[in-house]
Chains A and B, each alone.
Chain A
């Protein structure tokens, strides 16, 4: 996937946004450090739930000018037993049941959910979503769900 990242001339930067699930055993290991140091990948942690002795979850954006480096990084993670899932389609908005009220936008810190200023329709930009799941609880219509 090729995506423009704000603020730079990003023609040749490749980014991939994934959710990583770590086993309890791995939570104590410096995995991100090795990705940066040994695989030369720029890492942006968008969401993290890492607690001692619990399965860890991270939503991470990987960027590099060399797409192969990202692939090698993924191979490294897989070799450790980290589960890698693409995230773009995880949050599902049930358009049939959505009333475009905007209650979900109040809890969306990443601004993936917003109300269009002209049409007043709800907009969901999955690229911005960090899977915090707050919108699921905030939706009065129970029209937002997550696919797991």
Chain B
């Protein structure tokens, strides 16, 4: 089938109200019901969604200047340190930064959630005095309406696949994958699977820098490859990476986001993280792209990793797929293990539906990317070096 579409044609159909949009889950049933060819010709856009903890997230904020002005050197928002080593009243608040008074129970993620909830947030800053900035300290309250700019800038979101976590040791361990009981009594996983954005476009044919996305209930953009973007990991016969692979850096206006899709999280004895609601529309430009969005949970393989090994490289105990994981149990080394998700499939579904509604209602138009994501790349690791190790011999 040589049939093709362009994004311009799709946007014209959005404008005229004729666009056909379904979610990445719905298209599987549709292709079964209406046939492969019919579905390919009919569907213009497939929407994806995910709602899971994404630690590598945070917000840039500009407060505006006080009178007299201050160069905010050290800054706290609700007692959570924010980074002020940029211009006088610009800061970055990272999601995992911990409160200096509440520890693990409150962090940067909670500050972000409170701002999105229109709650007042206490701003405290101290500084050195200069001719430009005579004020030494400030303490005041802010909310998101009063800010000049407040936008999420998340260096790594929407991991393309991830891992299954188990614990083979004799004690309970507390991880960002939840509480793991000894002797592999439970296993946790964290991906929207067949609804997940980068799983549905495994080679980044349509998803790239400049792609407009759903981020936290607002419209956002992909601005770069995500940190640790690693498209070169081993892939299965469908081209789906077996384990964490591609990632994206994203940006979006915190001022128009909704608390429903951005939620602070506490992982017991681990720390603070943030659940990010993210959805990406995939334009069905050609048959290859269409084939890829038909991916099902059973086509997505994921390694089972022993989190009791506190090393960079942890043992892989087996490979399973998301259909098995969602069934409630997997069998590893002859042992049946109860499985549970960490990310919300229900919310992933809702996000894909919401994005679909936006497109159908003409509120969201698709973009061509302005630059592709890297398609070959591995993650580097950090070694302990002396300066001599790095001296280049001429």
Which residues of A pack against B, CB within 8 Å? 99-103, 105-107, 109, 114-115, 117, 119-121, 134, 137-138, 140-142
Residue B133 is within 8 A (CB to CB) of chain A in the complex: no
Instruction: Report the nearest B residue to A97, measured CB to CB.
Output: B263
A142→B178 contact, CB < 8 A: no
Given A107-B181, A141-B265, the answer on whether A117 and B326 have CB atoms closer than 8 Å is: yes
Given A100-B344, A100-B346, A100-B347, the answer on whether A140 and B338 have CB atoms closer than 8 Å is: no
Chain A residues lying within 8 Å of B23, measured Cβ to Cβ, are none
B186→A141 contact, CB < 8 A: no
Given A103-B188, A106-B178, the answer on whether A115 and B263 have CB atoms closer than 8 Å is: no
B349→A103 contact, CB < 8 A: no
B178→A107 contact, CB < 8 A: yes
Residue B340 is within 8 A (CB to CB) of chain A in the complex: yes
Given A99-B275, A117-B326, the answer on whether A138 and B179 have CB atoms closer than 8 Å is: yes
Given A106-B338, A141-B263, the answer on whether A120 and B349 have CB atoms closer than 8 Å is: yes
Chain A residues lying within 8 Å of B185, measured Cβ to Cβ, are 109
B178→A103 contact, CB < 8 A: yes
A102→B341 contact, CB < 8 A: yes
Residue B345 is within 8 A (CB to CB) of chain A in the complex: yes
Determine the distance from Cα of A90 to Cα of B152 in the docked complex, in whole angstroms: 38
Chain A residues lying within 8 Å of B179, measured Cβ to Cβ, are 106-107, 134, 137-138
Given A137-B179, A140-B273, A140-B275, the answer on whether A102 and B344 have CB atoms closer than 8 Å is: yes
- B218–chain A nearest beta-carbon distance, Å: 18
Partner of B267, one of A100, A121, A134, A140: A140
Determine the distance from Cα of A114 to Cα of B328 in the docked complex, in whole angstroms: 9
A142→B346 contact, CB < 8 A: no
Query: 6 new A-B pairs (CB below 8 Å) besides A102-B344, A120-B349?
Result: A99-B344, A101-B52, A102-B340, A106-B338, A114-B328, A117-B326
Determine the distance from Cα of A44 to Cα of B312 in the docked complex, in whole angstroms: 45
A142→B266 contact, CB < 8 A: yes
Most chain B beta carbons < 10 A, residue from A100, A114, A138, A140: A140
Given A100-B347, A120-B346, the answer on whether A105 and B340 have CB atoms closer than 8 Å is: yes
Say which size band chain B's interface belongs to.
20 to 34
Closest 9 CB pairs of A and B: A106-B340, A140-B265, A120-B346, A102-B341, A100-B346, A101-B344, A120-B345, A105-B340, A137-B268
Which residues of B pack against A, CB within 8 Å? 51-53, 105, 178-179, 181, 185-188, 263, 265-268, 273, 275, 326, 328, 338-347, 349
Determine the distance from Cα of A69 to Cα of B339 in the docked complex, in whole angstroms: 41
Chain B residues lying within 8 Å of A106, measured Cβ to Cβ, are 178-179, 186-188, 338-340, 342
A138→B346 contact, CB < 8 A: no
Q: What are 22 residue pairs bridging A and B, where the CB atoms are less than 8 Å apart in the complex?
A: A99-B275, A99-B347, A100-B344, A101-B275, A101-B347, A102-B340, A103-B188, A103-B341, A103-B342, A105-B340, A106-B178, A106-B340, A109-B185, A115-B340, A115-B341, A120-B345, A120-B346, A121-B346, A138-B179, A140-B267, A140-B273, A140-B342
Chain B residues lying within 8 Å of A119, measured Cβ to Cβ, are 346
Determine the distance from Cα of A119 to Cα of B181 in the docked complex, in whole angstroms: 27
- B335–chain A nearest beta-carbon distance, Å: 15
Determine the distance from Cα of A107 to Cα of B181 in the docked complex, in whole angstroms: 8
- A135–chain B nearest beta-carbon distance, Å: 10
A99→B349 contact, CB < 8 A: no
Partner of B341, one of A101, A107, A141: A101
Instruction: Report the nearest B residue to A105, measured CB to CB.
Output: B340
A107→B186 contact, CB < 8 A: yes
Determine the distance from Cα of A109 to Cα of B179 in the docked complex, in whole angstroms: 13
A99→B263 contact, CB < 8 A: yes
Determine the distance from Cα of A115 to Cα of B338 in the docked complex, in whole angstroms: 12
Partner of B340, one of A99, A103, A141, A142: A103
Chain A residues lying within 8 Å of B273, measured Cβ to Cβ, are 140
Chain B residues lying within 8 Å of A114, measured Cβ to Cβ, are 328
Chain B residues lying within 8 Å of A117, measured Cβ to Cβ, are 326
